[in-house]
Chains A and B, each alone.
Chain A
């Protein structure tokens, strides 16, 4: 019996103009690891909410067809009953944790099933051990980091040992390390306990290697249902925006089949005799290991032209900035940073490394406990939640017309800000912070790509590059290395409140493991290639030289498709 089954499901939200789900039929078998893919607004979250019983019981609207979860028909059983057989983890960890301590949070779902106190205690103990959070059990939930909160939310969804777990972009707010840990924890759970997993994820390169199956939605309908490699072949011809960087790399180099992860991609390169040639040369490694002021002097121009005049001073300068919390830790520890006009920089690092705090200091929202911050003009800061900027009933009241036009929202002036899509909300928030009489000297963005599909990220990257071209210094805190590689020229890696690496983006991201693009991981940083097209160029060059011949003596050129 399928653990989750959709039969001809159509659904329209109460205020919707069109169907969010259009005749979806789908069956998930026990023990399957299924990734739900699709562009923003394709119906993925609605499908997941239908599987959790929230559609239609919680959201209302018009529903037809049947959804059966572990034998329970959701037309007859509400979210509470479905919750006993299907654990659900949503995107925002803050809204998912209810109780004040982790132990009580885990106990809640089992208590609600009416289990005895001993059974509750055992379930909490075993789940916390299985997910590696036993050390958090007596911690207040209000003090947990985003990654810890998401693991607690996952544990709370699994504590009753449901045969199915549903996850809606659980890694969107996590750093690459925590995100990978969560995905592999899911895979381990899936393999060790036969739990079926349905996972929505925009960064497909992160999870395809763990998946058995990929289901793609477009406009509320299933358009592809295949294994990861079958999906990638389909995406190559039908939905290029869903292709992973690894698949694009091999396709651009004329190699196949499309890889569902770094391991498969490297196996293909190895079979074609391209792997050894792709290793970084000793000369390049030496260049990467060079650090400090000497390198920075060479990289940063002493003078930049801006607005027809030559300026020497940086747009933003931080000197020995410390941020120390009363009765708490030091969040920033002696930050020295100079950012010049027209520069595009990314701040990367784990959750809690100090990225957001650094941006707040840059914008003057926080005062350093030691050190100083100097800016050659206004610092426009876009915080993580664009909705926080909106105070009015109409878009046109939030920002000047010129700023709205710059953000591409000129036609939407009469709409309510809350009625905009995620991407539109973000552009409106950008219009708000950019909309003053004086253009900003620095534009800072904190995690702007959360929940964005690739198309939206590309559009944002292009927009930021245009602003940099106008002479604005751009700095973006992000966990998304692929996005960073799209627009940034400089990368700053933070850890423990310090900047531990600062250099051209090709050097920093190509040399890393977690803070690195998939292309760089596949090619082990060869040539500083971060994007698939850059990597494909390197592979094509290798294929055209005799040194790239495989050990079996088969020319790589002949293997290329």
Chain B
């Protein structure tokens, strides 16, 4: 039984948006630029600007609910994890607010405000990177990406194609197996034992499944031809605007990091510059990310 309702899934669906109208490699570069910018800059205000940029881009691309739901679900675990790990391993902060004594291999553990703040900033960065990747998953056609990849490395693309096809097929197999086990008179083995039995059966069936998929790929002549043709979709105004936006994001981030235009230091004491220039840079990053969405001509699928 195929459940047709899937609007909330993190998966590609062709929508009427400027980002979807751009070719997949360009859309992927745009998402990668947002993620890379988040890895380059350190200032919390700029990271917040990039977070807002990703969420606003998702909304403008029609995938806002998915991204917001993911953000709500993941923000707390990511921030909690990075803060906990950082305060336990960091020895650099000076403002101690709790002394936890000797923790064996971790040694003397003192919790510092600086470690907490740096953990939060690092978590924010991870969140932006994760959401940017999700934006790419939702807005970049994976088939177009694979085609582009095939022009560079046919064998790797074949492996990627088989894998990307087999993962949902095996996932569906596992769901069916679990459902069938619930139909047994004893409702099937429960808990870890039941899951192990289903996993074993799924893996056992994976060979049959992979043979089926491989046979179809073979019959369709996959891998038999030389260089794959260039992507079928013609270049559009949206390709240019998103490519320029991606380049702009990378350039501004590099200049900000290289020139230390928005200084932020967590250790040994927290130092954050909240100058007009910082706010201006944040506005520039936000604007660069969102300007391509203003042009909504020719976006219908």
Q: How far is the CB of B259 from chain A (nearest CB, A)?
A: 43
Query: A111-B228, A143-B2, A387-B205 known; A382 and B215 CB under 8 Å?
Result: no
Chain B residues whose C-beta falls within 8 Å of the C-beta of A302 in the assembled complex: none
**Is A539 an interface residue, CB under 8 A from the partner?**
no
* Residue interface mask A104-148, B partner, CB < 8 A = 1: 100111011111110011001000000000000010101101000
Is the interface on chain B under 10, 10 to 19, 20 to 34, or 35 or more residues?
A: 35 or more
Interface hit among B6-14, B33-41, B243-251, B264-272: B6-14
Query: A140-B13, A327-B8, A436-B186 known; A357 and B220 CB under 8 Å?
Result: no
Determine if B141 and A109 form an interchain contact, defined as CB atoms under 8 angstroms apart.
no
Complex alpha-carbon distance, A432 and B2, angstroms: 25
Q: How far is the CB of B90 from chain A (nearest CB, A)?
A: 42
**The one of B7, B176, B182, B209 that contacts A328, using a Cβ cutoff of 8 Å:** B7
**Is B260 an interface residue, CB under 8 A from the partner?**
no
- Residues in A388-413 with C-beta less than 8 Å from chain B: 388-391
**Is A15 an interface residue, CB under 8 A from the partner?**
no
Chain B residues whose C-beta falls within 8 Å of the C-beta of A81 in the assembled complex: 221, 224
**Is B274 an interface residue, CB under 8 A from the partner?**
no
Query: A120-B232, A328-B7, A383-B176 known; A112 and B219 CB under 8 Å?
Result: no
Complex alpha-carbon distance, A100 and B200, angstroms: 27
**Is A174 an interface residue, CB under 8 A from the partner?**
no
Complex alpha-carbon distance, A492 and B232, angstroms: 48
Chain A residues whose C-beta falls within 8 Å of the C-beta of B3 in the assembled complex: 325, 328
Chain B residues whose C-beta falls within 8 Å of the C-beta of A432 in the assembled complex: 184
Determine if A112 and B224 form an interchain contact, defined as CB atoms under 8 angstroms apart.
yes
Chain B residues whose C-beta falls within 8 Å of the C-beta of A378 in the assembled complex: 185
Query: A54-B215, A58-B215, A389-B184 known; A143 and B6 CB under 8 Å?
Result: yes
Chain A residues whose C-beta falls within 8 Å of the C-beta of B4 in the assembled complex: 143, 325, 328-329, 352
Determine if A328 and B147 form an interchain contact, defined as CB atoms under 8 angstroms apart.
no
Determine if A365 and B179 form an interchain contact, defined as CB atoms under 8 angstroms apart.
yes
**Is A94 an interface residue, CB under 8 A from the partner?**
yes
Determine if B14 and A101 form an interchain contact, defined as CB atoms under 8 angstroms apart.
yes
Chain A residues whose C-beta falls within 8 Å of the C-beta of B8 in the assembled complex: 326-327
**Is B216 an interface residue, CB under 8 A from the partner?**
yes
Q: How far is the CB of B195 from chain A (nearest CB, A)?
A: 12
Interface hit among B47-55, B91-99, B108-116, B161-169: B161-169
Chain A residues whose C-beta falls within 8 Å of the C-beta of B222 in the assembled complex: 80, 98, 108, 112
**Is B298 an interface residue, CB under 8 A from the partner?**
no
**Is A190 an interface residue, CB under 8 A from the partner?**
no
- Residues in A303-327 with C-beta less than 8 Å from chain B: 325-327
A/B interface sample: 16 pairs, CB < 8 A: A81-B224, A95-B213, A98-B220, A98-B222, A99-B165, A104-B141, A111-B225, A111-B229, A138-B301, A142-B2, A142-B168, A143-B4, A325-B5, A327-B5, A391-B200, A436-B186
- B binding-site residues for A, Cβ under 8 Å: 1-8, 11-14, 141-144, 146-147, 161, 164-165, 168-169, 172-173, 176-177, 179-186, 197-198, 200-201, 204-205, 209, 212-232, 301
